[in-house]
Amino acid sequence: MKYALVGIGLMLVVLAAGCGSSGKQKQQSTGEALRPPVIHERFKSLPCPARPVSPTQIKGCEQRALLKSGRQVDARVKQILRLNLTTAGRAAFIRSESAWLSYRKAACSAGGSASIGDLECKAMQNARHLIELAEWPCSRSAGRIQDEFCLRDEVARSDRKIKAQERALLRLIGSGTTRAPLLRNRPEPTRVAFLRSERSWFSYRREVCVVEAAKYSGGSEQPNVFLSCEVERNAEHMALLLELDNYFNMR
H helix intervals, 135-180: 148-175
Count CB-CB contacts under 10 A for residue 81: 16
Query: Is residue 29's pLDDT more than 70?
Result: no
d(CA 41, CA 75): 16
39-71 per-position pLDDT tens digit: 999 888 899 998 889 999 999 999 999 999 999
Reported as a pLDDT band with limits 50, 70 and 90, residue 8 is very low
Four-CA torsion 104, 107, 108, 112, nearest 10 degrees: 180
**For helices 222-249 and 187-213, angle between their N-to-C axes, nearest 10 degrees:** 160
**pLDDT reported for residue 176:** 59
pLDDT of residue 87: 83
The Cα–Cα gap between 62 and 43 comes to 12
Average pLDDT over residues 145-165: 84
Architecture of domain 148-249: Up-down Bundle (1.20)
Cβ atoms within 10 Å, residue 69: 19
Predicted TM-score (pTM) of the model is 0.49
Q: Give the Å distances, CA to CA, from 84 to 23, 78, 147, 149, 211.
A: 26, 12, 9, 9, 26
* Average pLDDT of the residues in 218-237: 90
The dihedral sign for the CA sequence 209, 215, 217, 219? negative
Residue 141 has pLDDT above 60, yes or no: no
How far apart CA 57 and CA 64 sit, in angstroms, is 11
What does the domain layout of the chain look like in residue ranges?
31-136, 148-249
Q: What percent of the chain has pLDDT over 70?
A: 75
Contact (Cβ atoms closer than 8 angstroms) between residue 212 and residue 231:
no
Can you tell me whether residue 14 is helix, strand or coil?
A: helix
Q: Radius of gyration of the chain from Cα atoms?
A: 29
Report the pLDDT value the prediction gives residue 246, as an integer from 0 to 100. 84
- Residue 244 three-state SS: helix
**Contacts with 87 (C-beta within 8 Å, 6 or more apart), sequence order:** 34
Residues 180-205 have pLDDT tens digits of 555 555 667 888 889 999 999 999 99
Banded model confidence at residue 218, pLDDT cuts 50, 70, 90: confident
**What is the four-CA torsion angle of 186, 191, 197, 199, rounded to 10 degrees?**
-160
154-189 as b/e, with b when 16 or more CB fall inside 10 Å? bbeebeeebeebeebbbebbeeeebeeeebeeebee
With cut-offs at 50, 70 and 90, classify the pLDDT of residue 211: very high
pLDDT at res. 69: 94
> What mean pLDDT, rounded, does the chain reach?
79
Q: What is the pLDDT of residue 143?
A: 42
Question: pLDDT at position 33, please?
Answer: 55
